[in-house]
Chains A and B, each alone.
Chain A
Amino acid sequence: QKEVEQNSGPLSVPEGAIASLNCTYSDRGSQSFFWYRQYSGKSPELIMFIYSNGDKEDGRFTAQLNKASQYVSLLIRDSQPSDSATYLCAVWGNNDMRFGAGTRLTVKP
Chain B
Amino acid sequence: EAGVAQSPRYKIIEKRQSVAFWCNPISGHATLYWYQQILGQGPKLLIQFQNNGVVDDSQLPKDRFSAERLKGVDSTLKIQPAKLEDSAVYLCASSFSDMDDFYGYTFGSGTRLTVV
Contacts and interface: CB of A to CB of B under 8 A. Distances in A.
B43 A44 contact: yes
19 contacts: A32-B101, A32-B104, A36-B104, A43-B108, A45-B107, A46-B105, A49-B104, A90-B104, A92-B101, A95-B55, A95-B56, A95-B98, A95-B101, A96-B45, A97-B45, A99-B44, A100-B42, A101-B41, A101-B42
B43 A99 contact: yes
Contacts of A34: 104
B42 to A, nearest CB: 3
Contacts, number: 49
Bin chain B's interface residue count: 20 to 34
Nearest to A49: B104
Looking at chain B's contact residues, the main secondary structure is mixed
Closest 6 CB pairs of A and B: A99-B42, A43-B107, A46-B104, A43-B110, A101-B42, A34-B104
